[in-house]
Amino acid sequence: MRLKHSFLVASMMVAAMPAFAHTGSHPASDLVDGFAHPFGGLDHTLAMVAVGLFAAVLGGRALWAVPATFISMMLVGGVMGVMGIGIPAVEAGIALSLVILGAILAAGSRCLISIAMTLTGVFAIFHGYAHGAEMPTEAAAALYCLGFVSATAFLHGTGLVLGHAFGKRQMIHRLAGAGISIGGVVLSLN
């Protein structure tokens, strides 16, 4: 009962957040702003928690390899965003990350760690691009990047903790995945 209550409270808090972390939607200049960015949009928050859940479901080496791949490739995307290198359909890529990661969790699918790393790495480029493109030219780039990397690691950790808290209860993993996937569809329609 306590887990249901906690999940309900967390769901209500997340639902109150803005829908997207669109490029250029708010000013950013330092560590705090960089840390806040992933929490400023439900799409980023859900995707990063989903990566942690995905890693928890896979277990073993995936516990560190999948989140580390995401963070590494997110930094690559962030650099692309800062440099103004165009990536088509960034928002669609972010929404698609939710749909696909959520669907994998909902289906209870297991895959090779290398496939999970590749998949999350590709999605991370879109998320990183949004972080980097939003950073204004006067921002302290290193502090801003440290902030969004720290927030991402925190959200991955949250997903890992939730995945372990759910334990072998595959139905909860599947329901969380379905919610994430549906969230991706809904957010892509906005």
Q: What is the pLDDT along the chain (190 residues), one digit of tens a residue?
A: 544 444 433 443 444 344 444 444 444 468 888 888 788 888 889 999 999 999 999 999 999 999 999 999 999 999 999 888 889 999 899 999 999 999 999 998 888 999 999 999 999 999 999 888 877 677 778 888 888 899 999 999 999 999 988 877 778 888 988 889 998 898 888 7
Q: How many domains does the chain have?
A: 1
Question: Considering the entire predicted model, what is its pTM?
Answer: 0.80
Assess if residue 104 is contained within a domain: yes
Assess if residue 60 is contained within a domain: yes
**φ, ψ of residue 18 in degrees (nearest 5):** -60, 155
Domain interval for residue 112? 31-135+145-189
Q: Is-contact 126 93, C-beta < 8 A?
A: yes
Assess if residue 97 is contained within a domain: yes
Assess if residue 13 is contained within a domain: no
Comparing CA positions, the residue from 162, 166, 62 lying closest to residue 121 is 62
Assess if residue 25 is contained within a domain: no
Assess if residue 140 is contained within a domain: no
